[in-house]
Chains A and B, each alone.
Chain A
Amino acid sequence: MIKDFEYFAPKTVEEALSLLSQYKEEAKIIAGGQSLLVVMRQGLLALEYLLDVKGISALDYINYDDGDGLRIGALTTHRAIEKSLIIQRHFKVLSEMERNLATVQTRNWGTIGGNLCHGDPAGDPAPVFIALKAKLKLASLGGERIIDVEEFSKDYLEVALEPDEMLVEIQVPTPPPHTGTAYEKLMVMKGDMGIVGAAVSITLSPGDGVCQDARIALSNAASVPLRAGEAERQLIGKVINDDLLAKAGEVASVEADLTADVHGSAEYRREMVKVFVRRAARRALEEARAE
């Protein structure tokens, strides 16, 4: 049972921002609504103003050039990202991540920006974007600001948007040469929300194969998509072998803040963090070596 609200469907970013500056906390943005409507149907959300931004076509784009990297408009659908040839070529991990995100029907209507702004730590895109060192462009009538994806989530379903701000773009830099990135999550059925998940990016130095840089981010392992910095430090500056991968998984599982859920105990989920960090790291490493 959804409660009544007043509805606006701005057609431009400016229009949306001026509505936001007018209504601030009382306004809530809906994009594809694939997460929000589930909550609203349970009657758990009482809204004054709903701003439906799904029709702002100017925020539906995927652009790439070698210098600037990838730019994704916040209202690009998951399915468009999954199917984009540019993304399949240059950011395969994003396309793979999308293929296991919910169902085709949900991906057809749900947007990447909506997913990030919903702020669910179990979401798949955020950890992958953290591993890829992506940034977010946030806009308000006062101007724009850019923040790191890892700074965006604040708590369960809470993100760093000011009441008059909206997310407009995701910016993903082109990874350095000899970089591999992979995402793995534990699912009961394909498309399930991950019981836990891990995104790992590894950059090797060309000559000696030493790990120059590593990024590890976890989904559904804390109140926010969690960057596992200590686990990264297990790999950086070393020639990675299986023992180091296992060590990184162990350390990440300690950094995680896990609770029991319907799928398993905190202990089980901790074990799975170890396994999935190792799995994703192994694939990232193989890709980095193959480059």
Chain B
Amino acid sequence: MKGELKELKFTVNGEAYELKVKPKTLLVDLLRKELKLTGTKQGCLTSACGACTVIIDGKAVKSCSILALQANGHEVTTIEGVADGDKLHPIQEAFIEHGAVECGFCTPGRVMSAKALLDENPTPTREEIREVMQSNLCADEGYVKYIEAVEIAAKKMQGGS
């Protein structure tokens, strides 16, 4: 039947969920409205801005362009799952210390893009960072600091300063 609820089993930030969802529900809406994980932002809804970026099975994806049911059986990480309790992730620290936050709306998406990049490639070149970060738009034009912050974060994660 149209609109019939379907079962969704997946993990979000390490926690297992079993839910019934309407097939048309987008992942971003499920995260924000059902699970109340409002750190993930909804920007353009046309797959252009990257504010809704989350990580699925280690890869950065746009949660506005994925049906919630497509996350069935997968591991989703949102911005809420990045810090370790009160201890911020090195990427978050670097963003704050380097002043790479303007209004903050696009920041969660950027952190997720950066995390997926650094988890896969701990020592990216500036070009590789730019390639990934270009898909997160910032209305405040704060692009350079974001890129530098990811470089700083990479060093932090390598155990440097």
Contacts and interface: CB of A to CB of B under 8 A. Distances in A.
A54 interface: yes
B46 interface: yes
Contacts of A108: 59-61
A103 B134 contact: yes
Interface string A38-51: 10110000001010
Interface in A126-149: none
B70 interface: yes
Interface stretch (A29-37, A68-76, A216-224, A241-249): A29-37
A191 B47 CA distance: 12
A97 to B, nearest CB: 15
A105 B134 contact: no
B46 A38 contact: yes
Interface in A78-126: 79, 99, 103-106, 108-109
Interface in B16-75: 22-24, 26, 45-47, 50, 53, 56, 59-62, 64-67, 69-70, 72-73
Nearest to A189: B134
B50 A50 contact: no
A6 B23 contact: yes
A105 B24 contact: no
Nearest to B131: A104
B61 A54 contact: no
B45 A41 contact: yes
Contacts of B53: 105
Given A103-B135, A104-B132, A7 B65 contact: no
A2 interface: yes
B60 A104 contact: yes
Which of B22, B47, B50, B72 has the largest number of chain A CB atoms within 10 A? B47
B160 interface: no
Given A4-B2, A38-B47, A41-B46, A52 B134 contact: no
Contacts of A190: 131, 134
A9 B56 CA distance: 18
A264 interface: no
A55 interface: yes
Interface residues on A, range: 20 to 34
A50 B6 CA distance: 13
B61 A7 contact: no
Nearest to B2: A4
Interface in A197-254: none
Nearest to B133: A104
A68 B48 CA distance: 38
A54 B73 CA distance: 12
Interface in B80-135: 113, 131-132, 134-135
B24 A6 contact: no
Contact of A7 (B23, B47, B134): B23
Contacts of A105: 50, 53, 60-62, 113, 135
Interface of A: 2-7, 9, 30, 33-34, 37-38, 40-41, 48, 50, 52, 54-55, 79, 99, 103-106, 108-109, 189-191
Interface of B: 1-4, 6, 22-24, 26, 45-47, 50, 53, 56, 59-62, 64-67, 69-70, 72-73, 113, 131-132, 134-135
14 contacts: A3-B24, A5-B3, A7-B69, A30-B67, A37-B66, A38-B46, A52-B70, A55-B72, A55-B73, A104-B131, A106-B62, A106-B135, A109-B61, A109-B62
